[in-house]
Amino acid sequence: MFTFQLGHLQENLEAGAEKQTAAPPRSLAVRSMPMARACLIIYNLSMLNTRVFLLLAASTLAACQSSAPLREDIAAHVQMVSAERLMTSVETLCENGPRHPMPDADAPGSIASQKAVTWVADTLVAQGWPETSITRERFEHTRRNGERVWVANLVLEATGNQTPNETLELVAHWDSVAGAPGADDNATGVAALIEIARLMAVAGPAPRTVRFVFVAEEETGLNGSIHHLTQLKVGENLHGALVFDMIGYASSDDDSQTSPAPWLPLMPSTGDFVILLGNWTGSGLCDLYDACAATYVPELNITGFHFIGGILPDADRSDHWFYWENGFGAAFLSDTANFRNPHYHKSTDQPASLDPTFFREVTQAALATVFEWAYHGGHGWTTAVETFAITNPNLK
């Protein structure tokens, strides 16, 4: 997860520059809660302003979801999600670091020097995915100091065998900040995608297309996800993107969770939940995640805010931002980064600091969501957006 606020993001995009500041971002969240308590809190918050009131009302109602239908095949694959494999992936990614763009990279082929990315590609092939289903989206990034680096997103296309034009994207950035091994940020997200890809390979072809997008340069201004969106096939039906950024740190200690907005009394004070943020078109994907978690991973705590996109810009701190900007549905999963994890962007962001049980649960609910959508039609969720040509704001 990157560290500057959206107000700075546009500035960064315009400059096409690397920028890392310590400015604390802000976001909002509402924990799924009994209706009576939710109504009371909403009433109190309505004193703030109408916009916040409507936002919270919609989000809270959305968080009161029913569960998804129980399907035996999904339940079986949910149980196959392995905490050991997830942690091994995180450890291997950290060992293959640094995952910061190499200054010696001076040509498109230099991405081969990115050991971690090569390892991800090799792992997918070993799972049974054909080489032809894996591509690299290379792009050049000019840093503020004039240094030019070549980086690449890695993309696995699990093409649907009935309606391949219907796509769900799973997104996680593979890069880390300089000087940090990036176990939670964001080897956890990459590991989750790898594990879901493994179990899709086990399950066999799905009717719909699932695209696994391992993006570069999130930490330096969301460059990888922005570039990826410019590469979308015009006319395909993108149903949404599920974005993973830091999903492995949890604590059951009192006051282990801080709130980015002190005036908001809704953020739980114990950091044992995954946060789920969405936009208008992505709210259905949030609902689906909630419903699948309720059915298959009821022990997972979720704090959801399904309509935050475009309303409270400071919530836009990761690769979901450019989806939201362009009207695509995206749902964002995170452990809330620096509002919980004391190792955020530090050399101590090591695998040993993670909670494998929490990490597995977040991944299990994501797998159930993906499987429900790809193999079973998505429990009635239909908010596809036809893709269109997108211009990269970094290009002049």
Q: Please say whether the beta carbons of 324 and 331 come within 8 A.
A: no
Alpha-carbon separation of residue 135 from 120, 194, 355 (angstroms): 12, 15, 32
Site string for Zn ion, 38-77 (x = CB under 5 A): ----------------------------------------
Beta carbon of residue 343, minimum distance to Zn ion (angstroms, whole number): 11
Q: Is 241 in the site for Zn ion (CB under 5 A)?
A: no
If the CB atoms of residues 185 and 290 are measured against Zn ion, the closer one turns out to be: 185
Q: What is the DSSP letter of 270?
A: S
- Residue 134 or residue 222: which is nearer to Zn ion going by CB? 222
Question: What is the nearest approach in angstroms of Zn ion to the Cβ of residue 243?
Answer: 13
Choose among 159, 196, 158: nearest CA to 368.
196
Provide, rounded to whole angstroms, the least separation between the CB of residue 125 and Zn ion.
Answer: 28
Q: Are strands 163-173 and 208-215 parallel, antiparallel or unpaired?
A: parallel
Q: Interface with Zn ion by CB under 5 A: which range of 1-9, 256-264, 272-280, 379-387?
A: 1-9
Dihedral (C-alpha) 320, 361, 359, 334: value to the nearest 10 degrees? 30
Q: Which is nearer to Zn ion, 60 or 338 (CB)?
A: 338
Say how many C-beta atoms besides its own lie within 10 A of residue 112's C-beta: 13
Sequential DSSP letters for 77-112: HHHH--HHHHHHHHHHHHHT---SPPTT--SGGGGG
Give 214 or 307: the residue with its C-beta nearer to Zn ion: 214
Residue 318 beta carbon to Zn ion: minimum distance, rounded to whole angstroms: 8
Question: Can you tell me the distance from the alpha carbon of 379 to that of 243, in angstroms, rounded to the nearest whole number?
Answer: 20
- Nearest CB to Zn ion, comparing residues 239 and 320: 320
Does 1 bind Zn ion (CB under 5 A)? Our answer is: yes
Stretch touching Zn ion by CB under 5 A, among 102-110, 178-186, 203-211, 295-303? 178-186
State which residue, 1 or 288, has the beta carbon closest to Zn ion.
1
CB of 250 to Zn ion, least distance (A): 17
**CB contact at 8 A, 213 and 243:** no
**Residue 173 near residue 186, CB atoms below 8 Å:** yes
Q: Is the separation of the CB atoms in 368 and 285 below 8 Å? A: no
Q: What are the beta bridge partners of residue 135?
A: 155
Closest contact distance (angstroms) between CB of 334 and Zn ion is: 10
Tell me the sheet residues that pair with 214. 154, 172
Q: How many residues bind Zn ion (CB under 5 A)?
A: 2
Shortest Å, Cβ 177 to Zn ion:
6
Residue 361 binds Zn ion (CB under 5 A): no
Q: What residues from 179 to 198 belong to the interface with Zn ion (CB under 5 A)?
A: 185
Which of 185, 319 has the CB closer to Zn ion?
185
CA-derived radius of gyration, the chain: 19
Rounded to the nearest whole angstrom, what is the least distance from the CB of residue 280 to Zn ion in the complex? 26
Nearer to Zn ion, 1 or 158 (CB): 1
Residues interacting with Zn ion, by CB under 5 A? 1, 185
